[in-house]
Every structure is written in structure tokens, then in C-alpha cells.
Chains A and B, each alone.
Chain A
């Protein structure tokens, strides 16, 4: 949070300065009412107030500005307070770390046994969460530091990986597709697929030649596969090559890619592709996609839209698949 100075409506008496997660309020005198409240200051999504009141001791209170934000999204704050007197003699008290749900001025106060004088009150927020009514644990409004670090690290790793691919940095394996050549890295391929891992393990040709002849993939599809593996694939490239990617993911046992393709193929089932999708789902054991296609055909009755095609489909379809389709029909058309 940037340095902000709260505006003062009362000639600077209640002015308060904030920086980052710290607010500091200088109270010169408490005044005749035995009560003083700071100007509002914003930290997180809330406007806050500090107040001091003089009773038998001095009570310092911290509370959010009453209103919608505080009501609907009350802060769960972890904070500590410090009170110091310029003196002489200079003295200060530091509160223990408090963790409180702060809805209004009654929820928290910190008593200090001290005579009056020029007083400075610091409040430092260690964490601020939005309290929730449901069972979900409240989430900090500040990104978790380790998470943020993780994000930066993964981003930079992804950048490096895609550079390794696009610029062929220390590439040590050549992939011959049906219509072109690609360069990649044994270590990356082996780490993502057990098939590639074994390929370079035994004393077969690839270990020595460092060349893979993938004769069932074209250059574009294979580029998409490498793009996915190196984290550099674009959405439209994925969309265009998802069937080839699915076939390759199944062949090379790369379950992340397989799952992604299945999810994607589930999103655009139409009557012109449902039989093709059903076949693919059956071939690669994609239970969700298969269920989706069967539901589309039988529960939603789209089977009538593909009447002609279904005949040719049945001529070639596997017996097991047909059995499953039949079962689905029975379930869908069960008399009530």
C-alpha cells in the first residue's frame, strides 16, 4: 500500500499517517470530552478508526467504519498496538498480537495504565482476512507471501521452458515427424512421459541416435504436443489439435494433456460430431466424455438427429460399446 496521509477535518488534531500496514496517530491531548477519535484511514478494504478514552485507565479502540463493508465483510484482523510517550521519560507499551473479529467499537479495546501526556499510538496489521459465515476458512486480503513467491517462480520457469523450446537451447533430441523436424530435450520429454523415459533408458536405437521418428504425427500436431509439454501452447493451437493431442497423450501416457482434451471435447458436443466423440471416448477410455455423448444421444434424444449416421456407426462399432449404448437406452427410457 502506498504512503497515504489522511485528510484532516479538524485542523490536524486527529490526523493519522499510514504506510503499508502501519498506522500512526499522534494524540497531543485527549481534551475536555475525555474521548478522541482519529480520522478514518484505509488499510485493506476497510476504513478504520482508532480512538482513545480516558476512564480509570486509557482505553485504545480499533474498529472499522460502520457501514456496508464492515457489515457484509467484517474484518478478521491480526494486529498489534503500541503506545508511546515522548516523555521525558520516554516510555512505551506494546500489546501482544491480537486476533479479533472487528465489527464495531465494542469488539476490542486495549487498556493502558498510564497518565496522560503526548501520546503516539501505532497499529500494525499482521494479517487481514474477510470473515465468512459459512464453513469456508477466511481468506487473507493480502496474497500469501509464499504463494506470491511461488507464482513468480512458476512464471519465470514457464518463460525459461518456452525459450528452451522456441530457441532450441541445448536441445539434445531430434524429432522427425511425417512432414518436418523438431528439436527438444530428452530430460523434459522423459520427465513428462514414462514412454519417453523408457525410450532413452534401454540400449535401443534412440539412446544412441537421440532421434525419434514419430511417424504417426504431423509437424503441426507434434509442435502442439511439445508446446503443451513446455507450457507454451496457445488456446487456438490447443483447440485445433486437440484430437491429435489426445491420441498422443494416450500413446505417451501424459495424463494432464489427456484430461485437458477430454474436458475440452466435452464442451462442444453437437449432433455432427457426437458419434465421432463417442468413438474417441471409447477408444481412449474417457468415461466422462463417453457419458456426455451417451446422455446427449439418449437422454436429450439427439439420437433422432443422427439416424442415418448411426447405421454406419453400428456397422463398425465395437460390441462392448454397442452394449453400453443399449444399456443407456434402457436407463433413459425406463417407464416411470
Chain B
């Protein structure tokens, strides 16, 4: 064995060894911190896309897709949980509640779109290979399960829709149209559930 050949392979394998735990954790933290900032919409201009993309890309390339996926899901769930909490503080006045719910939904979808692009390589490789929910689908699922279908939001939503619902011949207002669109995105079951419950007689 010639030394140069040995060196070549050694050096190459060095690039290929699974990422060490500290680096992996650091990369993950960069991504989850960014997720927090994106939801907070603070200082987004200081987030560097290339850097975040590279962190996520290297994690997936070096066999850490599972870690990234789990941490990302946790971070997203925590942010959405925070949103649900903030909705409790909104007055029951139906117009205000629906408007706030809708604006948070838009914040959430915008954040999910940005996150999806940052972890695009994970979505393309790890998610497909492991049959996981894509980032977009995960975003919808988290919103459905921990906001719309969670304990206190659902009854308030049904009540608000009942009151805001246009009469049969009237066109729906912007807010109602937005709510309808959101519910449709969450799936037939939720959509029909809310509409049926809100039109049922008390």
C-alpha cells in the first residue's frame, strides 16, 4: 500500500463518517432557533438562508435525518402550542376571534413554507425514503390537531361560525371565506364537522 493511496481513502472516509453528536446537535439547534424566529417574525432579516439550508442539508447527508425531523417537528409543535395559548386570551367576540385565528393561520402557513424550503433536502430525501409526512402535511396536521380540534378552540370556532355565517343568499365575507379555505385545507372531516355543528339548531 502506498502512503498516498492510503491517505486519499482515509481523508475521504473522514468526510463520510456519520456526523459527530456535537456537530449534529449544533446544526439542529441552528435550525430550531430559526424556526422560533420565523414564527416570532422578529429579526428574520438576520437569518441566513444559505447557512440554515447547509446545516439541514449536512444533517440529512450524513445520516441525521431522523434527528432533524424530530427536532423540527418538536419546534413547530411548540410554536403552534404557543399560538393556541395566545388565542385563549382573545375575546369571545366572534368577529375578533375568527380574525385572530385566521391571521395566526396565515402566520403558520407562511412559516411552514419557509421551514419547508430550509429543510428542502430532508423533504426530498429522508421524508420520501422513510415514508414520513412532508413538512407541509406536518404543518397542516399540527394545526388541525393542536389548534382547531383542541379542547377550547373547536367550540368557540363553531359558535363564531354560527354567528358569522351569511344568510343563504348572501355572499360570504372575507373572514368567513378565509375560515372556509382554512377548514378545507385541514381536511373534509374537520370542514364538514365545523359546518354541520354550526348549522345545527341549538
Interface residues of A (CB under 8 A from B): 194-195, 198-199, 201-206, 208, 212-216, 250-251, 253, 272-273, 275-276, 279, 282-283, 285, 308-309, 312-313, 315-318
Bound together, the chains give a CA A308 to CA B52 distance in angstroms of 39
The interface size of chain B toward A, counting residues with CB under 8 Å, comes to 34
Chief secondary structure at chain A's binding surface = helix
Say yes or no: is B39 at the interface (Cβ < 8 Å to chain A): no
Contact with A along B105-142 (1 / 0, CB 8 A): 00000000110011011001100000000000000000
**Which 10 residue pairs are nearest across A and B when measured between Cβ atoms?**
A198-B117, A316-B13, A308-B1, A204-B49, A202-B114, A199-B49, A204-B47, A205-B48, A276-B12, A309-B9
Distance in angstroms from A17 CB to nearest chain B CB is 65
In the complex, chain A residues whose CB is within 8 Å of the CB of B113: 202
Known: A199-B53, A313-B9. A253 touches B47 (CB 8 A): no
In contact, B12 and A279 (Cβ under 8 angstroms): yes
Judge if B92 is at the interface, Cβ distance under 8 Å.
no
What are the residues of chain A within 8 A of B125 when measuring CB–CB?
A: 285
- Residue contacts A-B, CB under 8 angstroms, 8 given: A194-B120, A205-B46, A205-B48, A213-B50, A251-B57, A276-B12, A312-B9, A318-B63
Majority DSSP secondary structure for residues of B touching A = helix
**Docked complex Cα distance between A320 and B123 (Å):** 21
Partner pick for A204 among B10, B17, B114, B121, CB 8 A cutoff: B114
> Which residues of chain A are near B50, meaning CB under 8 Å?
199, 206, 212-214
Q: How far is the CA of A60 from the CA of B44 in the complex (A)?
A: 82
Q: For A253, give its contact among B49, B51, B118, B124 (CB under 8 Å).
A: B124
* Nearest B residue to A320, CB-CB: B63
* Distance of A205 Cα from B51 Cα, bound (Å): 10
B61 at the interface (CB under 8 A from A): yes
* Interfacial chain A residues near B52, Cβ < 8 Å: 204
B44 contacts which chain A residues (CB < 8 A)? 202-204
| Residues on the A chain within 8 Å of B45, using CB | 203-205, 208
Name the one of A203, A251, A308 contacting B6, with C-beta atoms under 8 angstroms.
A308
